[in-house]
Amino acid sequence: MLASVSASVLATVLVAAPVSLGVAQVARAQPSLPSLGDAAAEDLTVGAERRLGDRILREIRRDPDWLDDPVLQDYLNSLWQPLLAAARARGDLSDDQQAHFALQTFLVRDRSVNAFALPGGYVGVHLGLIALTTSRDELAAVLAHELSHITQRHIARNIASSRRQSMLGVASMIVGVLAASRSQNADAANAVIVGGQAAAVQGQLNFSRDMEREADRVGFGVLDAAGYAPEGMAGMFDRLQFASRLNDSGQFPYLRTHPLTSERIAEARGRLGVVTDRKGGPVAAQWLHAAMQGRARAMMDGRTQTLTRLAGGGVPTAAAAAQTPEALATACAAAVAATRLKDVRVADAALARARGLAAPQGEAVVRAVQVLQVESLLERGQSAEAARVLSSAVLDGSRAGLLLGARLAALPGSEATLVSRTREDLQTWVALHADDAGAWLALAQVNERQGAPLAALRAHAEARFAQGDLVGAADRLRAGQRLARSNGAVESMEGVIIESRLKAIEQQRRVEMEQERSGQRD
């Protein structure tokens, strides 16, 4: 499982990076500082690096701990996008990288505290990291540092030290270490990396101290330029150090690959004197982060013992009367945990508490709690009540709101107008976000509900394609092809699209197979 991916082997292989940050003003005042990643372009182009990242991510997607939670993913993206914009504005993100790199984040259902960067512009975030952070600025600081390793091409430089190594060989080796680490067997993991090539790959994926310093400097500049509070980085250092001192027990792999030294901590605190004090950002942002923090706590560990403990936070106590962001985090965690335990009484009490805390904090916070309520009602089978809450909720056209509505529309007995409207909304969404596998799957379910099997098969195929499963995508398109022929619908719009997509995907698959056979790197 990807829970084991947080262990030291995977943390090394997936090139996670420390979080000490540099000063934006200092970075801008030193334009002559060399970029340590420039040399990578001579060995591994951005296109080749992206293909390598895609190969690795394709394997990670198959793991059950890969998580597509629309609410948490929307929140993570809301922090990530300002960082990307700041990197572009500062000139850290080249035109070539913008054209080829994915520049995407993804979630890992894991209670350990970790984050890591992959080749090609992917950044993975464990739910344990979200649960530990107490402000958006702390989480954004980690993302900014990881982004800087990507923009400075540190990953490519480490991977591309040997021109003789094929992309397929590197990807296979990284995936092999991933597979071994999932077994939670240290001997198995070590066995994978004892060979000459494997040992070389592992060595190439360790960042140098100079690269870490550059990511410190550039990352802090990006964080500051994006408008986040610089105090978040020092706060993150303090939190990691304190929490790990109390109990590491394998739960802080980020510290094993991102060691905190007194020098790094002192530099992080010293840099605060040359940037504007934003005091943690808007108050509403702190409450929204608390709601996300609570959600992550309840989703990162599905053990009954853990859920029972979290659900206990939904039972009214004297301590629960506090009107603080932490109280909201506790209530949200209790609502999710109690729902998963099917304890309706505790879930309703926690939701009522969360609604009361969220009400004065603005629409975004209220919306986060309303989503929890709709999810809880759907889990109980109370679709009519879920529809009522959903219709009154302020869902603002977000992906989370769209997929929640699709979940309701796919249920038997849903109103025809809701099904039709949801289908149109999903079709519009995937036209703009063709790589959203979750939205394609939701569209497939709504198409099935509306009695459109051909469109459903095509949507299932597109979902597989978005996940990197070209074989699965082609299989479903062929099934659609057969259905269209049997129904005489070959000339229909959906039938024509299926024929065209099947040809394109088969051609892409042939190209990939040829690249694999030849060991082509670019």
- Residues designated catalytic: 146, 216
Token pair 């706590």 is found at 297
Give whole-number Cα distances, 267 to 216, 260, 262, 272, in Å: 10, 11, 9, 9
386 touches 377 (CB < 8 A): yes
How far, in whole angstroms, is CA 80 from its chain's centroid?
A: 10
Residues 155, 247 contacting (CB under 8 angstroms):
no
Burial profile 485-507: b = 16 or more Cβ within 10 angstroms, e = fewer: eeeebeeeebbebbbebbeebee
CA proximity to 254, closest of 266, 263, 241, 267: 241
SS3 for 115?
Answer: strand
Query: Helix (H, G, I), strand (E, B), or coil: what is residue 62?
Result: coil
**Helix (H) / strand (E) containing 19:** none
> CA distances (Å), 498 to each of 6, 334, 457, 461, 472, in order?
40, 45, 9, 9, 14
DSSP string, 401-453: HHHHHHHHHTSTT--HHHHHHHHHHHHHHHHH-TT-HHHHHHHHHHHHHTT-H
Give residues with Cβ within 8 angstroms of 478, minimum separation 6.
502
CB 19 within 8 A of CB 159: no
Tokens coding 102: 């994915």
Residue 142 · residue 127 · CB < 8 Å: no
